[in-house]
Amino acid sequence: MKPFLALAALVPLAAAHFTLDYPATRGFDEDLEPQFCGGFPDVSSTRQPFPLSGSAPILIDSHHPSAQVGILISLDSNPTSFDNFTTTSTGDAIPMLLPFGQITGTGEFCFNVDVGSLGLSNVTNGTVATIQVEFNGGDGLLLQCTDIVLVSDYIVPSNVTCANATATASASDSASSSATATGSMGSATSTPASGANKVGAAVGAVLAVVGAGVLML
C-alpha cells in the first residue's frame, strides 16, 4: 500500500513528458514512458510507410521547456532490446538516425531524418524497421516507438507539417527538472556513438530517482 501511495505522489512529476505524433506512436502511457519503447514492447499490427531515402519528418510534442532528443532505428522485425537499435542482426553498427541535440520550448518539434544516409546494407523497398525516440526533459529518459516499412519515393501525407513551436516555457514544468537525470543525458550529447551505454546509465538514474521518491515517504 505504501509504495503505491508513494508512486501516486510522483505522478505530478510525470505529468509533462512528450508525445510522438508522426509516425504515429505504438502507444502512449506517461507512467510507462521511461520503459523500453515507452512501455509498448509489442510490434504494431500495421506498419506505417516511411521514406526509404531522402529527408523525412519525425514530429514530437514536448511538454518540457527544454529537452535532449535523439532518435534510433532498428531493422529487426521485432526489436526487444536497445542492442537491436545499435547493432544489426549481422553485427554491423547502426548510426543514430538523429544524434542527441537540445530543443528549447514546449509544443511541436520536427526533426528531419534520412534513413538512406545511414548507409545500412540490405535496406530496400519494403524493409521493415522500428524508430525509437529518446527524450530527456529533466525528469529522466523517456521513450516512444513507431513501427514502419521503408518505401521508395514515399510522399509523407500533406497534413504532416514540419515546423517548430516557439518557446513557451511554463513555470510549473520547470519544477520537474532533475539535475541527476539531466547530467546523464548531457554527457550522452557529447558522445552519441556510445549512446547504448548512456541509455542504460540514464535508465538507471530514472530508477534511482523513483526509488528515492518511494523511500522518502
Ligand X SMILES: *[C@@H]1O[C@H](CO)[C@@H](O)[C@H](O)[C@H]1NC(C)=O
Q: Which three cell numbers stand for residue 202?
A: 540514464
Instruction: Choose the contact partner of 92 out of ligand X, Cu ion, none; CB within 5 to 8 A by kind.
Output: ligand X
Binding of residue 71 to Cu ion (CB under 5 A): no
Q: Which is nearer to ligand X, 44 or 164 (CB)?
A: 164
Instruction: Choose the contact partner of 89 out of ligand X, Cu ion, none; CB within 5 to 8 A by kind.
Output: ligand X
- Which region, judged by CB under 5 A, interacts with Cu ion, from 15-23, 68-76, 88-96, 122-130? 15-23
Binding of residue 16 to Cu ion (CB under 5 A): yes
Instruction: Choose the contact partner of 101 out of ligand X, Cu ion, none; CB within 5 to 8 A by kind.
Output: ligand X
Candidate list 20, 67, 96, 139; residue touching Cu ion; CB under 5 A: 139
- Which region, judged by CB under 5 A, interacts with Cu ion, from 37-45, 68-76, 90-98, 131-139? 131-139
DSSP label at residue 54: S
Q: Which three cell numbers stand for residue 188?
A: 550522452
Q: List the one residue out of 128, 144, 145 whose CA is nearest residue 136.
A: 144
Beta strand segments in 63-159, E:
66-74, 98-104, 107-113, 128-136, 141-151
What backbone phi and psi angles, to 5 degrees, belong to 99? -60, 155
- What gap in Å lies between CA 13 and CA 212, rounded to an integer? 13
Q: List the one residue out of 127, 121, 117 whose CA is nearest residue 147.
A: 127
- What gap in Å lies between CA 102 and CA 100, rounded to an integer? 7
C-beta neighbour count of 89 within 10 angstroms? 10
Binding of residue 17 to Cu ion (CB under 5 A): yes
Using CB under 6 A, list all residues that contact ligand X: 21-22, 76, 80-81, 83-84, 89-90, 92, 101, 103, 109-112, 121-122, 125-126, 151-152, 157, 159-160, 162-164
Residue nearest to ligand X (CB): 81
Instruction: Choose the contact partner of 110 out of Cu ion, ligand X, none; CB within 5 to 8 A by kind.
Output: ligand X
